[in-house]
Amino acid sequence: MKSEARGFVRQGAWMVAASLSGGLAMMLVHTWVSKACGGAAYAEFKTLLSTFYAVAAVGGGLWLSFGQRTAAAVTEEEEAAVARSARQALGAIGLAWVGLAVVLWMVQGRLMEAWKLSGTSGLWATWLLGLLTLWLSVLRGVVQGRQSFGTLGGVAILDGVGRLVAVVVLVTWWRATATGAVMGAVAGSAMAMGAAAWGARDVLARRGGGSAGVGWAGAAVLALQAAALQVFQQYDNLFWASAIPGSALEAWSLGTSYSPAHTVGFGITQFTVPLVLVMLPRVARAAALGEGSDTLRLTLWCTAGMGGLAALACTVAPRLPLQVMFFNNPANWAAAPLVPWFAWGMVLFTLSNVVLNDLVARGKVQVAWLVMVVAVGYVAALGWLRAGWVMLPPMEAYRSGVQVLCGATATLLVGSALVRWGLLSRQPSRDAGKATPQ
Does residue 281 have a pLDDT over 80?
Answer: yes
- The amino acid present at 296, given as its one-letter code, is L
> What pLDDT score does 362 carry?
83
Q: Which residue has the higher pLDDT, 436 or 391?
A: 391
Cα 172 to Cα 33, 92, 184, 257: the distances in Å are 10, 36, 11, 25
> What pLDDT score does 215 carry?
62
Q: What residue spans of 38-177 are helical by DSSP H?
A: 39-55, 58-72, 76-114, 121-145, 149-157, 163-173
DSSP conformation class of 292: -
Alpha-carbon span 247 to 233, nearest angstrom: 27
Question: Contact, 341 vs 407, CB < 8 A?
Answer: no
pTM, full prediction: 0.72
Q: What is the pLDDT of residues 342-394, one digit of tens each?
A: 999 999 999 999 999 898 888 777 788 899 999 999 999 998 988 888 788 88
CA distance from start to end of the chain: 12
Q: What is the pLDDT of residues 190-226, one digit of tens each?
A: 999 999 999 998 888 887 655 555 566 676 787 778 8
Does residue 430 have a pLDDT over 60?
Answer: no
DSSP conformation class of 247: G
Does residue 429 have a pLDDT over 50?
Answer: no
Alpha-carbon span 381 to 157, nearest angstrom: 37
> Which strand (E) or helix (H) includes residue 5?
helix 2-37
Strongest mean pLDDT among 19-23, 62-66, 289-293, 419-423: 62-66
Alpha-carbon span 347 to 187, nearest angstrom: 30
Does residue 73 have a pLDDT over 80?
Answer: yes
